[in-house]
Structure 1
Amino acid sequence: MLTHEYKVEMTCSGCSGAVTRILSKKLTEPGSKFDVNLEAKTVTITSDLPEATLTEMLKKCGKEVTYIGSK
């Protein structure tokens, strides 16, 4: 599994909550996990899904999403 990091233009707890709800519903594979950091405006996702699929998931929150890279 790779860990991917994204910059998401979240400005409030409602924004981070939307990201959390989307990932909780869509990221169902065993062993996958995510962390939403509102202060740093980052989302870290550990998953076997491709980066493009994860990016599309995050874009559903309606905020600007930038892929930073994998760890």
Structure 2
Amino acid sequence: MTKQEFFVDMTCEGCSGAVTRVLTKLGVTFDIDLPNKKVFIESDKDTDVLLETLKKTGKAVNYIGPK
């Protein structure tokens, strides 16, 4: 499995909760680093799928790269 790093513009627990909801539905393993606004996702899914899923939160999202 590949670990990917994303920037997600999260400012509070509610924001990280939204990220948790969409990623749990996708069925991937992930870690959220709220202070640094980063999400680390461990998955074999395509990066575009992960990016589109994170965008469903309504937050600004950028793909940083493999971790």
The TM-score, its normalising length taken from structure 1, stands at: 0.90
Q: What letter matches 1:13 in structure 2?
A: E
Match of 1:12 in 2: 12
Matched, 1:36 2:24: no
* Structure 1 residues without counterparts, runs of 5 or longer: none
The alignment partner of 1:62 has SS state of: coil
Alignment length, in residue pairs? 67
Matched, 1:48 2:41: no
Q: Once the two structures are superposed, what CA deviation does each residue of 1:7-52 show, in whole Å capped at 9, x if it has no partner? A: 000011100000001101112xxxx410011111000000000100
Match of 1:65 in 2: 61
Task: Quote the RMSD (CA, aligned, Å).
Answer: 0.8
Deviating beyond 6 angstroms after TM superposition, the runs of 4 or more aligned structure 1 residues are: none
Q: Percent identity?
A: 54
* Structure 2 residues without counterparts, runs of 5 or longer: none
